[in-house]
Amino acid sequence: MEIRLAECAGFCFGVRRAVDTVYEQLEKGKTIYTYGPIVHNEEVVRELTEKGVKVLENKEALKALPNCKDDEDGAAVIIRAHGVPEEIYGIMANKGLECIDATCPFVKRIHRIVREEGEKGSHVVIVGNPGHPEVEGIVGWCQGPVTVLETPEEAEKFLLHEDKRICIVSQTTFNYNKFQYIVEIFEKKGYNVSVVNTICSATEERQRSARALAAEADVMIVIGGRHSSNTRKLYEICSEECANTYFIQTLDDLRLELPKTVRLVGITAGASTPNKLIEEVQNYVRINF
Ligand code: F3S
């Protein structure tokens, strides 16, 4: 029996880089804070907390930290892959906190675009979820007027009275077809729009490789958090291709009984699933079947 991991599974490049940054900094023996949980995975956050990493839940928690100006062994704050508004850097600098920026370079690019467009006088439109930290971060880099919207209905209602250029960007995880549809609504209105597709291909690649593997596999295991929407989407996709698809959070959930006829077991994992857990599941299946 063969066990095969989907080509793209688990952490994306940006999240892996941010999590690795935390582990690297821990080795330096400093007090480490992360601005928000470094990844949407309780296991990883718990492990880091046990190692002494503290999570700052919001701006108020950051402001409440003691001033480190004259303290050589001051604390460091790690910014996660989603990024933060520009003002957060200012607060850290004023407090003398070391800022370790693990913002994903793809998100950083959006910050640069909206900032430059604002300076040129454009009205920035961000297509994405206004409550998502990534979007809140992007808004915080805009220099002028900005609108966040996520539905075609909101795009229809959008009205701009001035003769301004509109620059449209998207949240990195936004659905491509929906983004295109929203862009078309703006174009039909006759506005002067410049569109920058800032959707990251990581989500799509993970889904594409999960589908390809599930189409071949006799049994498919999807690992990820119960509340993780991207993991649920992977489960849906795999179930369409493979009738024997299992959704598990940890190894404890895995109750497999594999008939002798099973030749290929496929494994994939959501964006917040650490490699360690993926390897545990792989090894378990390898040893027990
Ligand atoms: Fe991940 Fe960065 Fe893309 S955080 S989803 S690689 S934008």
Residues 113-122 pLDDT 10s: 999 999 999 9
Sheet containing 245-248: which strands, arranged edge to edge? 2-5, 264-269, 219-223, 245-248
Which residue's CA is minimally distant from atom 3 of ligand 1? 200
Confirm or reject: Cβ of 81 under 6 Å from ligand 1: yes
User: What pLDDT was estimated at residue 115?
Assistant: 97
- Give the 3-state secondary structure of residue 130: coil
How does pLDDT run across 81-94, given as a tens digit for each residue? 999 999 999 999 99
- 221 Cα–ligand 1 center, Å: 23
To the nearest 10 degrees (0 to 180), the angle between helices 42-50 and 13-26 is 10
- 190 Cα–ligand 1 center, Å: 32
How does pLDDT run across 173-188, given as a tens digit for each residue? 888 899 999 999 999 9
How does pLDDT run across 8-31, given as a tens digit for each residue? 999 999 999 999 999 999 998 889
CA-106 nearest atom, ligand 1? 7
CA-81 nearest atom, ligand 1? 4
Residue in this structure with the two tokens 């857990």, named with its chain if needed: 277
Average pLDDT over residues 150-161: 95
CA-15 nearest atom, ligand 1? 4
Portion of the chain with pLDDT greater than 70, in percent: 98
Confirm or reject: Cβ of 34 under 6 Å from ligand 1: no
How does pLDDT run across 61-72, given as a tens digit for each residue? 999 998 876 655
Confirm or reject: Cβ of 38 under 6 Å from ligand 1: no
Please give the Cα distance from 274 to 258 (Å, whole number).
25
Confirm or reject: Cβ of 110 under 6 Å from ligand 1: no
Confirm or reject: Cβ of 202 under 6 Å from ligand 1: yes
Portion of the chain with pLDDT greater than 90, in percent: 79
CA-82 nearest atom, ligand 1? 4
pLDDT for residue 230 is more than 90: no
User: What pLDDT was estimated at residue 272?
Assistant: 86
Active site residues: 134
Residue in this structure with the two tokens 């390897």, named with its chain if needed: 279
User: What pLDDT was estimated at residue 12?
Assistant: 92
Torsion of Cα atoms, 251 then 285 then 277 then 51, to 10°: 80
Question: pLDDT: is 272 or 91 the higher one?
Answer: 91
pLDDT for residue 288 is more than 90: no
